[in-house]
């Protein structure tokens, strides 16, 4: 994970210990992981969320979210996991908006 410190334990579980920097630089935007985490915590299925920056060949960095879901909604198959992933993508997209200073309009991002 770019810009974060952590480790994998013997069972392969990831532990993120600290952020070495507070912003993810994605294209020409700077994204605060804490803001995305707060947004994800607003979803009723999420009990824990962590967002980190990962290298991206085109954008420099991309945000990657690690989620712990409520036990009642945890997907049991790969197809169910993919469906839940798409649901979270749509949830985040519906909550994010960008302000274009040239047109002074809010646009969905």
Give 48-71 pLDDT, tens digit per residue: 998 888 898 998 888 888 889 988
Tokens, residue 90: 């749509």
Please state, in angstroms and rounded to a whole number, the distance separating the CA atoms of residues 61 and 24.
6
Phi and psi, residue 59, nearest 5°:
-100, -5
Phi and psi, residue 60, nearest 5°:
90, -60
pLDDT in tens, 69-84: 988 888 888 988 898 8
Question: Which domains are present in the chain?
Answer: 4-108 (3.30.300.30)
Q: 0.75 cut: is pTM over it?
A: no
pLDDT in tens, 7-40: 888 988 887 776 666 788 888 888 888 888 888 9
Which DSSP string do the residues of 15-66 spell out, in sequence order? EEEEES-S-EEETTEEE-HHHHHHHHHTSTTEEEEEEEEEEETTTEEEEEEE
């Amino acid at each position: 994970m770019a810009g974060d410190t952590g480790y994998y334990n013997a069972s392969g579980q990831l532990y993120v210990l600290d952020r070495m920097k507070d912003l993810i630089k994605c294209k020409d935007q700077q994204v605060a992981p804490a803001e995305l985490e707060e947004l994800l915590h607003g979803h009723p299925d999420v009990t824990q969320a962590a967002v980190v920056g990962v290298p991206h060949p085109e954008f420099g960095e991309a945000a990657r979210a690690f989620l712990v879901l409520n036990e009642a909604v945890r997907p049991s198959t790969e197809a169910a996991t993919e469906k839940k992933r798409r649901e979270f993508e749509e949830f985040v997209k519906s909550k994010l908006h960008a302000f274009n200073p040239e047109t002074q309009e809010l646009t969905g991002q």
